[in-house]
Structure 1
Amino acid sequence: MPKLAANLSMLFTELPFIERFGAAAKAGFKGVEYLFPYAYDAQEIKQELDKHGLTQVLFNLPAGDWDGGERGIGANPERVNEFRAGLEMAISYARVLGCDQINCLAGIQPEKFSEQEAEATLVANLKYAAKALNEEGIRLVAEAINTRDIPGFVLNNTKQGLSILEKVGSSNLKIQYDIYHMQIMEGDIAPTLSEHIESIGHIQLADNPGRHEPGTGELNYKFLFQHIDSIGYDGWIGCEYKPLTTTEEGLTWLKSHGA
């Protein structure tokens, strides 16, 4: 069974953020991830990780005005300096939290620029970030997100992600493969994982439709967990789903899926 990390931006949201670490540990999770740590003191988060024996698995680079609808700045030619400043902030948090993997959100296609200009900016930013993070012993991943939930998202399928990896040309950049997003965009989950597992640095899950916990939709996660083990993936899988009812009630899937 793969290692499962609780996504604290989606799970235990009935609790204040800092209290979610203890709730995740109590539920049996050994690792945590979330969107961003930057609104909190890094030492305060570190105390919670240590107190509950949790691994900080992943968080995202700063992604612009999230509450205002921005979903990343990695592909915006006007935001390169902001991207680099955010990278430095992310590194400072990762050092404290012991986090060895950070995700880049490409963002929504900027209206003022062409798709080619956006992709060129993303490639350049990823080259810069992969090099800087490599010097810190931190891996960079980039996530493809479906265009139904986030219309216009620049990076939105596996083929495009692989093309970006090739253009960046760094061994320190991998794909963050979100099963939910890729089920919407392309399906064929198990064969895609098999063919490209060496290019995948992190996996996330949710069922479809609804983005709820495994067992609520069309995906056969019992099969997928066995498949992921069989192809040799030894990283974490982030549970980035919206509980159908409450987090606690929804956690019954862990037992039914042998987690």
Structure 2
Amino acid sequence: MKRSEFIKSSVLLGLGATAANSVFAAGMPAAGRAEKTFNLDYAPHAGMFAAHAGENFIDQIKFMHDQGFRSIEDNGLMKRPVALQEEIGNTLAKLNMTMGVFVVDKGGNGANTLAAGKKEYIDIFLNGCRQAVEVAKRVNAKWATVVPGDFERALPIGIQTGNVIEALRRGAEILEPHGLIMVLEPLSDTPNLFLRHSDQTHLICKGVNSPSCKILYDIYHMQKNEGNLITSMEKCWDEIAYIQIGDNPGRKEPGTGEINYRNVFKYIDSKGFKGVLGMEHGNAMPGKEGELALIKAYREADKFK
């Protein structure tokens, strides 16, 4: 499952009286009666609770808050209308919630690769960084996902790495004055991707040498690419600024695959991590039943203390 599958548009009316009654009947708290928070700061995304809250993203955010979540993430935020971005920001502020990552638009994804060192690709990336600064202001965001793109196989790997570092340095110069951090995400979607491993990403962050260039450690992708999760996280911990979740196989909620998430969460907590853990995965089951099961899964995995 790729990131694009998580990006959903907000086009329908929100939660009405009938939906609210359904939520209450399903055993969920009524509006304004928030459940207790979690030990760690888990962040759902748009569409994850649409069966309960309706298709309106603002109503979904309110529902997330009622279930005890205190952050969200929204990969497709940059593609949303400015008015909706502002409404999202205002809603988060009123609920004292945090915006997690959004994806820098055209940030070197796919064939538009920073590894090539081509001016036209770098210009697209830098323009995305400038736009990201403005979007971040509307929602008080601190992190933005960047993926360098595919390998440029006509060039030696060292030259590609140098090209990526140089492009990211220029991006960091745009972001740093605004306190916005690009988080580099090694992925497992295809072997054509330049950035695939945590140690490689750690090296690049050291090369960029900026507080605005850190690692997004996606547990699902790293389980697929390298395994040995806690050991690999420990080795690159000093550069990790953001974490994402998804069990493997299947990329669904904790407890649906092979990862011992309670133990992984215990390790993350032991490091004193106070950042956001994005729930970048699908629901194992559809509908309201699946949404309730997902919440229960997080309550169970969060029992590490």
The TM-score with structure 1 as length reference comes to: 0.87
Q: Identify which range, 101-110 or 236-245, moves more after superposition.
A: 101-110
CA shift at 1:94, angstroms?
0.5
Pick one of 177, 186, 194 that aligns with 1:135.
Answer: 177
Percent of aligned pairs with the same residue?
28
> Deviation per CA, 1:171-214, whole angstroms, max 9, x where unpaired?
33211101110011111111122232111111111100010100
Pick one of 48, 64, 86 that aligns with 1:11.
Answer: 48
CA shift at 1:54, angstroms?
2.1
Letter in 2 for 1:6: P
> Deviation per CA, 1:16-50, whole angstroms, max 9, x where unpaired?
44443223223321001121212222213223323
Letter in 2 for 1:221: Y
Equivalent residue number for residue 61 of structure 1: 104
Pick one of 143, 150, 156 that aligns with 1:101.
Answer: 143
Matched, 1:50 2:93: yes
Verify the 8 A CA contact 2:214 2:240 in the aligned structure 1. yes
Structure 2 unaligned residues grouped into runs of 5+: 1-38
CA shift at 1:168, angstroms?
1.4
Q: RCO (CA 8 Å, sep 6+): is it higher in 1 or 2?
A: 1
1:205 and 1:88 map into 2 onto residues whose CA distance is 28
Equivalent residue number for residue 213 of structure 2: 173
Equivalent residue number for residue 252 of structure 1: 296
2:111 and 2:298 map into 1 onto residues whose CA distance is 30
CA shift at 1:113, angstroms?
5.9
Letter in 1 for 2:131: M
- Residue 203 of structure 2 aligns to a residue whose secondary structure is helix
Distance 1:215 1:62, change over 3 A: same
Q: Identify which range, 14-23 or 87-96, moves more after superposition.
A: 14-23
Q: What does 1:194-209 align with in structure 2 at a 5 Å threshold? A: 194-209=234-249
Pick one of 230, 233, 239 that aligns with 2:270.
Answer: 230
Letter in 1 for 2:69: F
Query: Structure 1 or 2: larger helix share?
Result: 2
Verify the 8 A CA contact 1:6 1:239 in the aligned structure 2. yes
CA shift at 1:237, angstroms?
0.9
CA shift at 1:105, angstroms?
1.4
- Residue 251 of structure 1 aligns to a residue whose secondary structure is helix
Distance 1:141 1:64, change over 3 A: closer
Q: What does 1:147-226 align with in structure 2 at a 5 Å threshold? A: 149-226=189-266
CA RMSD of aligned residues (A): 2.4
Query: Structure 1 or 2: larger strand share?
Result: 1
Larger Rg: 2
Q: Identify which range, 40-49 or 57-66, moves more after superposition.
A: 57-66
Distance 1:72 1:104, change over 3 A: farther
- Residue 242 of structure 2 aligns to a residue whose secondary structure is strand
Letter in 1 for 2:295: L
CA shift at 1:248, angstroms?
1.1
CA shift at 1:111, angstroms?
6.5
Distance 1:150 1:165, change over 3 A: same
